[in-house]
Amino acid sequence: MVSLTLNYLASARRNGHVLKFEGDIIKLDTAMFGYFYIYHDKIVYKRNEKCNNEKYRLGPTSKIGRESRKAFRVWNFNDINRIVMTKYNHIKQAVEIFLHNHKSVFIVLYSEKCLNQFWKELKIKLHKTNVKLIDDSKRRDEIVTARDAWLKLKISTFDYLLKLNYGAGRSFSVLSEYPVFPWIIKDYNNKPLKLKDDIYRELKYPIAGITETKREKAMEKYEATKSIPRTCFQYGTHYIQVRGVLEYLMRLQPFTQFKNIFDEGNNSPERHFHCIRHMWDIIMSDFSMTLELIPEFFYLPEFLGNLYLSVIIVGTI
């Protein structure tokens, strides 16, 4: 396989049929850096032993690891469902390839200019295929289509929120861009929970402004920082970030391992997410807590079980 790919690569490059793009495959635990080649029927990744772009930084992922794995990876156009232009670390420099087998590949290029060149080449090579190319304008159209389908009860609220996350450039492949779901219930004191009107959280405010006190403090923060050019803000933390995702998913591998790395071995039980009601109470009382939820709260109860932690968390999830 490797020798065939090498021969094909060399032949195509000699004949001027393929362009080389430098970039990374981003995974939850690492970045695989190398080169990408777009042929008439496939996309090929070739590992680069050393990253040439010294100024490029992976941000949150770099704390987990950066390494090379497979020397080559190949994605045939027949195996690709869609390719979406997206962001990485809030910069438009990435694409995500969605395959028919429900897997995806997140690729980061080193600049928006490089991304545009990569996208242009994709359009040339894919124009006679069934692969969908989704840029910003088509993504907005998909969000409108999803909204209309949701209003007509053709898709569930869960599916609609996932489509909104994808439309916003979020991905399960990147911890710093992980999908976000809202807190729905605000009263966790009744057992069993009674789904009545006054149990639901007010969704017109973000979690950082869920109470009047939080909204007042947010405005105070804005007033205190608005005199400083381009630095004024209301909330100092985001509604989902790497540490928050790891806190929620630390009971599942590989997130248990990631959490240990981020905590640098400090696995003290009192530092961990151990109770949904307790987490909600902290969010309501602490202005600095702005965490929303993640999709796993709505479909994967296994993430609440202590299967892989080296310490046992005491408490009721």
Q: Which residue, among 53, 58, 52, has the nearest Cα to 28 in the 3D structure?
A: 58
Most confidently predicted of 45-49, 189-193, 260-264? 45-49
The whole-number pLDDT of residue 54 equals 41
What is the per-residue DSSP string for 145-199?
HHHHHHHTTSS-HHHHHHHHHHHTT--TT-GGG---B---B----SSS----GGG
Rounded to whole angstroms, how far apart are CA atoms 209 and 214? 5
* Structure-block tokens of residue 12: 């195509």
Give per-residue pLDDT as tens, 119-170.
999 999 998 899 999 998 899 999 999 999 999 999 999 999 999 999 988 9
Q: Percentage of residues in the chain with pLDDT exceeding 90?
A: 37
8-state DSSP, 293: B
The C-alpha atoms of residue 316 and residue 249 are separated, in whole angstroms, by: 16
- The encoded tokens of residue 126 equal 């894919």
Report the SS3 class of residue 267. Answer: coil
Highest mean pLDDT out of 161-165, 192-196, 199-203, 276-280: 161-165
Which of the residue ranges 2-6, 26-30, 176-180 has the most confident prediction, judged by mean pLDDT? 176-180
For 23-76, the pLDDT digits (tens) are: 999 888 778 889 999 999 999 999 876 654 443 444 444 444 444 456 789 999
Dihedral in degrees, nearest 10, Cα atoms 194, 197, 200, 202? -170
Q: For 69-115, how does the pLDDT look when each residue is reduced to its tens digit (9 = 90+)? A: 567 899 999 999 999 999 998 889 999 999 999 999 999 998 889 99
Identity of residue 124:
I
- Residue carrying structure tokens 């690709």: 80
Of 100, 96, 97, 107, nearest to 78 (Cα)?
100
What is the predicted pLDDT for the residue at 66? 46
Q: In the chain, what are the domains?
A: 2-134 (2.30.29.30), 180-304 (1.10.1540.10)
pLDDT of residue 258: 84
0.75 cut: is pTM over it? yes
Q: Would you mind telling me the total number of residues written for the chain in this entry?
A: 317
